[in-house]
Amino acid sequence: MKNRFAIKVCLLLLSFLTARHTYGQAPKVLVTDQKYYPQYHFRPQSGWIGDPDGLVFTNDTFHLFWWGHAISKDLVYWKEQPYPMKGSDRSFSYFSGSVVVDTANTSGFGKQSMIAVFTRHYPGDTLPEAQVISVSTNEGQTFNYYQNNPVLDIKKIFFRDPQVFWHPQDRLWKMVVSVPNVQEIQIYESKDLKTWKYCSSFQGLGAKNSFWECPDLFELPVAGTKMKKWVMLIGRGPNRVQYFVGNFDGKTFTPDHETNNYLKDGIGIRGKVFEDFESGLTRWKQEGKAFVDTITSVDFLGNALAASSGKQGTMGKLISIPFKVSSNAINFLLAGGKHPDSTCINLLWNGKVVRSTTGDNTNVLKWNGWDVRDLKGKIVSLEIVDRHPAAKMGNIAVDHIVFSDALMNSQLEHANWLDYGPDYYATRTWRNYDLKRSFGDTVFAIGWMGNWDYANKVPTKWGKGFQSLPRIMSLKHGSTGYQIVQHPLPALSKLRGAQFSKNDLKINGTKAIAFQPKKNSYELEVAFKPTDQHPFGLNLFVGEGRKMIFRYDPVVSQLTINRLNATDYRSDTSFTRLFAKKYNAPLTLEKGMLKLRIFVDQSSVEVFCNDGSIVLSTTNFPSQVQTGIELFSEGGVINVPMLKAWPLKTIHNPNN
């Protein structure tokens, strides 16, 4: 009897300990408590996770692949599943792709079969990539490699990331897939998922300099109307997503007229265009022979720009007509060699250089700008200089000089960006194949919170990478056409603990808030109402002399993330060089207010600004005691009408 009682006690204890870790794959140690481990962003218990793949909803269940597999009922709590991909000869890697549910058995693999369509990639980038399929007849638990693969092969080394969806208007499957090295998205169609016919291609617009990857094509509702528009998402490596709004007729995606005009010619840019060089250099005095008609730069607007040849020993400069500074900022697209004083654009006042910017050692034009509030009313001039003798990156290129009260110093190409932070890539949307349940016009999306510049260098011992929060997207109309608005998933509110709330705060200097979470797992809502022109913001991850700064300057309408001194991981100088930077986003006050909704999760921050009109996502790797939160104001008092905060529970224990 005594031994039987002891056995019962042991079994009860064992079942309790086991139950704690059966949500997902049971780890040998409690990995979710390790340093930097996200508490409410999905990642597998171990290993690598990158681009989200195969996002489908079927049988009342959301699926997420990478090509691991996880399922969810609400996009908040996830259950990791066994590795599903079977039957390959292991000679290739499973690159990104999608999953469809064949509800009508168009493929002949069986009604409700799930077909994964993905890229077969051989090591070394020496053999062509091709699109292949694997088939599941058990709701995605296992996918068996199709023996007649590939289903689409155009004999290109780079040809990847198919997103496949059902188009009910013509009852055909559609595929958008990338030829990344030439910045081209191709569209195909199929009756059976096995034989594909070319329809059209999309290229030549937006940011065109780096690999185009992970395309998606879907409809989004226009907020406040009954309209929908088609949207194409394209990942611009190594860490950005751009979007295009237009129409899709089943064969061809055509950007809207406003979208095309903004991206091609800059129509709708906030401010006054001082010079676009469409009429040549008629308003500029030219010295030397450096500036010629040769165009080596990309992502310029219109049909012309000012560019030097970069030929060895060829030097010179362009000098603008004088003008009076009438705005708070001067913005311009800039490319060329990184040689301060010798390949640069300068602003001169009284014969002296008062502002200067050089290139970044690329031929890709990116937005740069100066805050010139202190020079308003002054007579100044510009000069574009190439006095660098070398041929290699000894050139300079400038386009679209704009006078504005909004500083556009993002150092990004001219494009519609989905996220202005440095760690958001490969966004894809969920497709609903559940005929019994409709989400109406709601579109759920998710991305990879990573950056290929340093993805393999991050200091996480439990694996690499995690997914963003699921987001809901819609469209609103603005001066440059339709723009995407993003909101965090409403169901995340079920993770909230006790609310902390303060109203009508007045901040002068720097002040820690009384909400002090035990760990960096919380949600924060804050509204700022400036009464004058001084900068303000908040500091996160405060502790041990470190912090991440979110600073807003109302004079030039710019939000800056500063992570120069935010992480405790400093031993790898190559990582620090790539990670410790500032990032800028243009952001206008709405009705005189700046509203931020912020999600902090151990090693990440996602900031939804002014009801999701601008979003910034960034990773960070702080110490476990860097949990402080501060509000600050520089040079005056800032009003904070509302501040709310909630600790957020972990998703790794569904019974919490």
pLDDT in tens, 353-399: 999 999 999 999 999 999 999 999 999 999 999 999 877 899 999 99
Kindly state the average pLDDT of the residues 328-343: 96
pLDDT at residue 300 is higher than 60: yes
- The whole model's pTM is what? 0.94
Per the annotation, the verdict on 51 as an active-site residue is yes
pLDDT class of 655 with cuts at 50, 70, 90: low
* Domain 496-647 indexed as CATH 2.60.120.560: yes
For the range 125-129, what are the long-range contacts, defined as Cβ-Cβ under 8 Å and sequence gap of 24 or more? 125/157, 125/158, 126/157, 127/157, 128/153, 128/154, 128/155, 128/156, 128/157, 128/159, 129/95, 129/156, 129/157, 129/158, 129/159, 129/160
pLDDT at 28: 53
pLDDT at residue 230 is higher than 50: yes
Query: Which token pair is 324?
Result: 């009076």
pLDDT class of 309 with cuts at 50, 70, 90: confident
238: preceding bond cis by omega (within 30 degrees):
yes
Give the strand pairing for 443-448 and 471-478. antiparallel
pLDDT class of 440 with cuts at 50, 70, 90: confident
Domain spans of the chain, in order of start: 48-266+417-484, 272-404, 496-647
Kindly state the average pLDDT of the residues 292-304: 82
Kindly state the average pLDDT of the residues 436-453: 94
Residue 321 three-state SS: coil
CA–CA separation, 38 and 465 (whole Å): 10
The CATH-assigned architecture of domain 48-266+417-484 is 5 Propeller (2.115)
pLDDT for 184-202, tens place per residue? 999 999 999 999 999 999 9
Residue tagged active-site, from 51, 102, 216, 553:
51
Q: Are 380 and 325 in contact (CB under 8 A)?
A: yes
pLDDT for 144-185, tens place per residue? 999 999 999 999 999 999 999 999 999 999 999 999 999 999
CA–CA separation, 216 and 231 (whole Å): 8
Which residues, at least 6 apart from 225, have a Cβ–Cβ distance to it below 8 Å? none
pLDDT class of 443 with cuts at 50, 70, 90: very high
Kindly state the average pLDDT of the residues 521-527: 98
pLDDT at residue 4 is higher than 50: no
CA–CA separation, 74 and 149 (whole Å): 34
CA–CA separation, 449 and 425 (whole Å): 7
Q: Quote the percentage of the chain above a pLDDT of 70.
A: 95
Average pLDDT of the residues of the chain? 94
pLDDT at 390: 79
pLDDT for 86-132, tens place per residue? 999 999 999 999 999 999 999 999 999 999 999 999 999 999 999 99
Q: Quote the percentage of the chain above a pLDDT of 90.
A: 90
Query: H-type helices in 468-620, by residue range?
Result: 573-579
pLDDT at 93: 97
pLDDT at 312: 79
Fold matches, 272-404 and 496-647: yes
Cα angle at 221 between 216 and 224, to 5 degrees? Answer: 155
What value does the CA radius of gyration of the chain take, rounded to a whole number of Å? 26
pLDDT at residue 476 is higher than 50: yes
Assigned CATH class of 272-404? mainly beta
